[in-house]
Amino acid sequence: MTEHDFKILIDKYLSGQCSDEEKRAVEFWYAVSEDEQEVDQATLNLHKQQIRKDLSKELQRKPKVFAFNNYWKVAAAAVLAYAIAIAIYINQNPKTLPLSEVASIMPAKDQVELKLADGKTIVINPNTKQDITTSEGLSIRVDEQGNLLYQQEEINNSDAPIAYNTLTTPKGTISSILLADGSKVTLNAASSLRFPTRFQQDKREVYLEGEGYFEIKKTANHSSFIVNSKQQAVKVLGTKFVVKNYAGEAESRTSLVEGKVEVRALKANHSLILSPGQEATLNASGLIKREYDESSLAWINNDFIFINADLAEICVELERWYDVKFKIDNDIEKKRFTGAIAKNKSLQEILNIMSSSQNLNFRINAKTIYVSNF
């Protein structure tokens, strides 16, 4: 598809002649192309102003919370095709990438581990049912998908010590746990959740390293739920949200889907209240509130979505999923990409797309991938 064809598509959108998939694709392009120069921005500015007005009308009718469903996937796939086509058009002479040596690299799959308070480690096997009873009187059931379901027996002595267990997911694996209070936590790859075998009456606390999607159940006494991480604490009553706080990364992020949360920066003692569709980022500059985009929640639906993301941060996500290591030439770390692809694809498919759109060269030695310009 040429630049001319793309402009025709936008004209169809403005005249109301687009199909639903084309309409979603144009709106996705608008959302992610503010800082990109893949097409003639001067020519398209007036079009984008009109799209802004149309989208503003839609957002007044419904909250800006992104849903992940099959309908969206069609639109995302369409806009990815448009983005690749435009990049090829501009590059004129795109080079194909022979990466047969990474063709077999699929998402890393390993066993989830549950470390009990007494030091015992239980290996959770995917697609295998398990029933576990701990010394603290806790019944744990593992369903066919490898999700953990906790059932707490009634404890009469409220002064009894509370024991903590830790659930850890390896690279390339997502796992869910239903806590004793009925709240559900889905852990992204290379993450861990430390949680009590039973919760206190007035406060529920867990400790996260990595990334987790929390669906918090309200209790009869409205006890608060607190997600602690190294740099921040997130306090809620009943809501759905994502917390991302990987060790070694300069930024922590909290994205709110439903309800209301308070995010507190521990060192600065500064807090923000989030509403649905907003996220708080914590970095060296402080705690900042902004609207989130699809990329913040994509992993929950087993997708990669990159919106004007630089090469360095994309490679961090790929390392976490495929259990490889990237070495990037310094002069290309800030190259930016926009696109979407399912996380069950091979690494070769993703690298081929990136190579075609930005003229990159990938070479592999063992499990280290070296990235440079052609």
Domain shared by 283 and 182, yes or no: yes
Domain shared by 134 and 278, yes or no: yes
Q: Which domain holds residue 209?
A: 112-169+175-295
Domain-terminating residue out of 23, 57, 91: 91
With helix as H, strand as E and coil as C, how does 249-316 read? CCCEEEEEEECCEEEEECCCCEEEEECCCEEEEEECCEEEEEECCHHHCHHHHCEEEEEEEEHHHHHH
Q: Which tokens hold the place of 322?
A: 């495929």
CATH classification at residue 240? 2.60.120.1440
Quote the pTM value. 0.73
Lowest mean pLDDT among 139-153, 201-215, 266-280, 311-325: 139-153
Domain-terminating residue out of 38, 62, 91: 91
Task: Check whether 345 has a pLDDT greater than 50.
Answer: yes
The pLDDT tens digits for 223-240 are 899 999 988 999 997 799
The pLDDT, as a whole number, for residue 184 is 93
Give dist(CA 95, CA 1) in Å, integer.
Answer: 17
Domain shared by 30 and 153, yes or no: no
CA 173 to centroid of chain Cα atoms: 13
Domain shared by 331 and 199, yes or no: no
Taking residues 316-345, report their average pLDDT.
Answer: 92
| The amino acid at 31 | A
Give the chain's domain count.
Answer: 3
Domain shared by 218 and 79, yes or no: no
Domain shared by 285 and 329, yes or no: no
Taking residues 7-24, report their average pLDDT.
Answer: 73
Domain shared by 266 and 283, yes or no: yes
Conformation bin of residue 262: beta by default, left when phi > 0, alpha when psi is -120 to 50: beta
Q: Alpha helix locations (H) across the chain?
A: 3-14, 20-32, 41-61, 70-91, 311-322, 347-358
Backbone angles phi, psi at 164, to 5 degrees: -115, 135
Domain shared by 288 and 319, yes or no: no
Backbone angles phi, psi at 60, to 5 degrees: -70, -25
The pLDDT tens digits for 243-279 are 999 998 999 999 999 999 999 998 888 999 999 999 9
The pLDDT tens digits for 54-63 are 544 443 443 3
Domain shared by 150 and 255, yes or no: yes
Domain shared by 197 and 243, yes or no: yes
The pLDDT, as a whole number, for residue 372 is 92
Domain shared by 129 and 59, yes or no: no
Residues in the chain: 374
Q: Mean pLDDT, the chain, as a whole number?
A: 78
73 CB-near residues (< 8 Å, 6+ apart): 303
Task: Check whether 26 has a pLDDT greater than 90.
Answer: no
CATH classification at residue 324? 3.55.50.30
Domain shared by 281 and 310, yes or no: no
